[in-house]
Amino acid sequence: MSEIRFAFAPPAVVTVPVAGRDEAFPVRRIYCVGRNYAAHVREMGGDERAPPFFFQKPADAIVPNGAVVPYPAHTQDFQYEIELVVAIGTGGSDISVEDAPAHIFGLAVGIDLTRRDVQVAARKAGRPWEVGKSFDHSAPITSIHPLEGASLPSNGEISLRVNGETRQKGDLAEMIWHSAEIVGELSRQYRLEPGDLIYTGTPAGVGPVGPGDVIDGTVEGVDTIRITIA
């Protein structure tokens, strides 16, 4: 078979550092869970009894921990959402909740950055609202901490601060769907593969930030993320 000749140099593989190892986690897809904490569902005007849904961000939306994030174009309402992130290490379809932990490589802390005004306008118009979620630099994330046989966390504080002031504070126990259930449900809609990241939803307290703001967020027992808005 002849060697493939590219029309131009292919893009570099997007990676996330693996904590405690001289390795990088190659990112394939980024999935996000919508409306997975009851209080956040209520603050966004939704029905907390409805199941969460999924949307995607491009892999190159990844931003490393400690980075400066540019304030994006086409918005006047740029918001944060702190989230636990699940990293898939073993692929599969129709994964059972019981088997889900064996498919998880590790955990991280992420921020789902959102152009809220753009998202809301698209939703009201009945249009897809990925433009409010899936823009450049919209997926900050910490290093991935390998699970290595440990149990998935079922509780623990999840919080976010802006310039030192607490804006979001909840507990993983408040998730409507927990990590294993999310992996199982998502695997019935898409075949999961190694390199997939799943942002698992945010607690209440989302709000706007602007240039110069410093955002830091923590998931207890996992990690702390910190970014600055340019």
User: Which residue stretches of the chain are H helix?
Assistant: 38-43, 116-124, 179-189
Q: Distance between alpha carbon 125 and the CA centroid of its chain, in Å?
A: 25
| 200 domain residue, yes or no | yes
Asked whether residue 8 is assigned to any structural domain, the reply reads no
Q: Rounded distance, CA 145 to CA 149, Å?
A: 12
Say if 10 falls within a structural domain: no
Residue 74 one-letter amino acid: H
CA distances 171 to 163, 216, 222, Å, are 21, 16, 13
- Is residue 92 included in any domain, yes or no? yes
pTM: 0.95
Question: Is position 2 within any domain?
Answer: no
Alpha-carbon gap, residue 185 to 183, rounded angstroms: 6
* Domain extent at residue 22: 15-229
Return all residues near 24 (Cβ < 8 A) that are at least 6 apart: 15, 16, 17, 18
Provide the CATH number for the domain around residue 58: 3.90.850.10
- Taking only the tens of pLDDT, the chain with its 230 residues reads 688 999 999 999 999 999 999 999 999 999 999 878 876 556 655 555 566 789 999 999 999 999 999 999 999 999 999 999 999 999 999 999 999 999 999 999 999 999 999 999 998 999 988 999 999 999 999 999 999 999 999 999 999 999 999 999 999 999 999 999 999 999 999 999 999 999 999 999 999 999 999 999 999 999 999 999 99
Given 3-state DSSP classes, what are the helix, strand and coil percentages for the chain, each rounded to the nearest 5? 15, 35, 50
Decide if 51 is inside a domain.
Answer: yes
Q: How many domains does the chain have?
A: 1
Q: Does the residue 152 lie in any domain? A: yes
Q: Is residue 102 part of a domain?
A: yes
